[in-house]
């Protein structure tokens, strides 16, 4: 659903034909301030060790979905054969953020990828901050206090 503030109208957003919520693991994410759909099961590693995945980006003005292919260099050497999910872009729209799947041995790690520079960085959450029995969930632009904004 979409809502236009100026006219106070609701409308249905049509999904692309390839999206089937019954059989795939589609998630809505924020991609450079646009709505995007990503299929968590559609992430590949090419022969060079680069990560490759496709997302469907909703172009608000045109009203259509655009398929975008994203290739991330040095993916395999950075992730150490662990599975990560694409979570979206941060508020500035510059960095793609990946978080590990639940239950992995690297559950305390986040990856940032900058499409402009091709830089892939890994950040580990310090030991002792989280018990091994707990899951880590990734949220963007979280602020504990409005004084920090």
For 94-99, which contacts have Cβ atoms below 8 Å and span 24 or more sequence positions? 96/70, 96/72, 97/138, 97/140, 99/136, 99/137, 99/138
So what's the pLDDT on residue 68?
A: 93
User: How would DSSP label each residue in 28-78?
Assistant: EEEETTEEEEEEEEEEEE-TTS-EEEEEEEEETTTTEEEEEEEEETTHHHH
Rounded to two decimals, the pTM is 0.73
So what's the pLDDT on residue 55?
A: 92
So what's the pLDDT on residue 128?
A: 59
Q: What percent of the chain has pLDDT over 90?
A: 14
pLDDT mean values, one per 10 residues, the chain (149 residues) = 83 84 79 87 88 90 89 88 81 74 60 88 70 61 59
């Amino acid at each position: 659903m979409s809502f236009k503030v100026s006219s106070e109208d609701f409308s249905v957003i049509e999904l692309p034909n390839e999206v089937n919520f019954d059989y795939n693991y589609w998630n809505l994410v924020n991609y450079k301030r646009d709505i995007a759909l990503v299929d968590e099961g559609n992430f590949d590693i090419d022969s060079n060790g680069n990560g490759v995945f496709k997302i469907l980006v909703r172009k608000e003005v045109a009203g259509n979905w655009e398929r975008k292919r994203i290739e991330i260099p040095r993916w395999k050497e950075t992730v150490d054969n662990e599975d990560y999910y694409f979570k979206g872009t941060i508020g500035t729209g510059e960095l793609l953020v990946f978080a590990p799947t639940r239950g992995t041995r690297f559950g305390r790690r986040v990856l940032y990828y900058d499409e402009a520079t091709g830089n892939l960085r890994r950040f580990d959450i310090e030991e002792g901050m989280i018990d091994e029995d707990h899951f880590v969930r990734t949220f963007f632009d979280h602020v504990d206090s409005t004084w920090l904004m």
